[in-house]
Amino acid sequence: MPGQLQDKVALITGAGSGIGRATALAMAREGAAVVVSDVDAEGGEETVTLIGDKSRATFIHADVTDPDDVDALVTRTVEMFGSLDCAVNNAGVVNGGTRMHEMPDETYDRIMNVNVRGVWLCMKREIAQMLEQGGGNIVNTASGAGLVALPGAAEYVASKHAVVGLTRTAAVDYAADGIRVNCVCPGYVKTNMTRAIWEDPERLTAMVAKEPIGRIGEPEEVADAIVWLSSDASSFVTGHPLSIDGGYVAL
């Protein structure tokens, strides 16, 4: 039985670990040719190795904050596989635990540069390609922090609210062109970014206490939602920030 993304070409940034890696594996399983991109070459190559013979896959190193890297990433994707049907803008960084007046300016710049400028640059180039070929799907990784406040993480919260805003506006601007744009808003998920929390029993208990479902999420649970948003099964969905958070933002 054909997969949900059979014969599609998918590009995933930040695919060297965590949600990005889980998404690359899920898209390959569903029949897509996959371009794995990350600044971490070792992690990206490992993701390609994990895909194995499930589908065609390659790693392309790219820094999403560098316009030349982003342009080359999309160009090489199309040269290698012929199109760009599904783009997942997942690369991001996180901060937390410091109130705004104590946060170094450099931290703000880094968070906004990767989480906002990176998504914006990728979307610009992806949309241009999708306009040429007559359509496509984009899914951005925002966060539950893109929908509600997160104490001690003003810069991160601002960046993820911006991703939701970029998503909604692009969805409206390009809906008539056959391009759907959505974003996922994960809650606490077991990734390298949250390792310091979920490996600490006390902090893990505090984290789980904030999740009505009673546990933290797995990267694969977010990846499955990204696959759905990238597939024809969600053909009437665009501009939507999908919470995948165990009920966190419902509180």
Identify the residue with better confidence: 97 or 175. 175
Model confidence, pTM? 0.97
**Cβ density class 118-138: b for 16+ within 10 Å, e for less:** bbbbbbebbbebbeeeeebbb
Q: Residue 224: exposed, middle, or buried by beta-carbon count in 10 A (0-12, 13-18, 19+)?
A: middle
What percent of the chain has pLDDT above 90? Answer: 90
Mean pLDDT, the chain, as a whole number?
96
Give the residue-averaged pLDDT of 201-223. 93
Backbone phi and psi for residue 61, each to the nearest 5 degrees, phi listed first: -70, 135
Q: Catalytic residue numbers?
A: 156
Average pLDDT estimate for 70-89: 98
pLDDT at 114 over 90: yes
Q: How confident is the model at residue 207 (pLDDT cuts 50, 70, 90)?
A: confident
Mean pLDDT of 158-175: 98
Question: Above 80 in pLDDT, residue 170?
Answer: yes
CB 24 within 8 A of CB 34: yes
Model confidence band, residue 251 (pLDDT cutoffs 50, 70, 90) = confident
